[in-house]
Amino acid sequence: MTDRPQNPQHAQQQQWPGSFLKMEPKPDHGEADYQGSGRLKGKTAIITGGDSGIGRAVAIAYAREGADVVISYLDEHDDAKDTAQWVEKAGQKAVLIAGDITNAEHCRNIVAKTVEQFGKIDIVVNNAAYQMTRESLDEISDDEFDRTMKTNLYAMFYICKAAVPHMPAGGSIINTASVNADQPKPKLIAYSATKAAIINFSGSLAALLAEKGIRSNAVAPGPIWTPLIPATMPPEQVESFGSEVPLERMGQPAELASSYVMLASDEASYISGATIAVTGGVAVI
């Protein structure tokens, strides 16, 4: 679309994990424009990081396609409640589960509560992520590196392991990777490493779960306007965010939603082990 903001209107910064309610301009999650067509009718989805950003856009799209949604988030309660309201406006059930997914028991609890509420899990979207911009290795503490790995990788493993026994044939696992998996950023060294691992994990899982009829894929976004940006990057980088890609602008969360819908739907029954690039023109191999 030609009317997308070319870049943020001004430099801005938030405390991590950030809130879309405080961003300027506000991200577009498809609230006004996404039109569903019943492609996920009767399905149940878990979305980590479902309160804001890409996860919020996916939650809204899934609900309008007929799915009930479990929204896992850390502690951004206002964001999560707002997202749940959009799910409910679409006529679907929204279950909010707050907590830290670096904790294995909490991940298992997300799955258990989903099964208790809905009896099954059709779709798992491992989307929550942690990153920090650092100028050198010396600036990356052991705890920060550990948190990046546990949020981006360990939680994906914990949730997949717990969810798979409750997923029927035709189920879909979708993991959010990044263009940084293919073009690692030196100031995002830990984050970039996890995103490469996510693509590898998704491919291995696709082969491992094929006999069960469960598919596993990844989506690799480019620069997307989410709370992670003002919460983890210096203001001068935020101001020009997205200008480096061929389309010369940041992407909006709404521009990724259709990829997650397609991969979750029965229309993608022969797509497994794939990585879908949504990067504004940057090639992902």
Number of residues assigned to the chain: 285
Kindly report, residue by residue over 38-92, the tens digit of the pLDDT: 999 999 999 999 999 999 999 999 999 999 999 999 999 999 999 999 999 999 9
End-to-end CA separation in angstroms for the chain: 25
Kindly report, residue by residue over 169-182, the tens digit of the pLDDT: 999 999 999 999 99
104/83 Cα distance (integer angstroms): 25
Query: Is 158 part of the annotated catalytic residue set?
Result: no
Compute the C-alpha angle 143/223/243, nearest 5°: 125
- Residue 93's region, left for phi above 0, alpha for psi from -120 to 50, else beta, is beta
Domains present along the chain, CATH in parentheses:
39-278 (3.40.50.720)
32/9 Cα distance (integer angstroms): 21
41/245 Cα distance (integer angstroms): 36
What is the residue-averaged pLDDT of the chain?
94
φ, ψ of residue 189 in degrees (nearest 5): -65, -45
Band of the pLDDT at 242, cuts 50, 70, 90? confident
Asked if residue 10 has pLDDT above 80, the reply is no
Omega of the bond prior to 165 within 30 degrees of 0, cis?
no
Residue owning tokens 């609230």: 31
Q: 62, 191, 260, 270: which one is catalytic? A: 191
Q: Give the pLDDT confidence score for residue 4 in this predicted structure.
A: 62
Both tokens of residue 121? 């899990």
Asked if residue 6 has pLDDT above 80, the reply is no
φ, ψ of residue 251 in degrees (nearest 5): -90, 160
127/55 Cα distance (integer angstroms): 6
DSSP 160: H
pTM of the model: 0.94
Sheet holding 172-176, edge to edge: 94-98, 68-73, 44-48, 123-126, 172-176, 215-221, 275-278
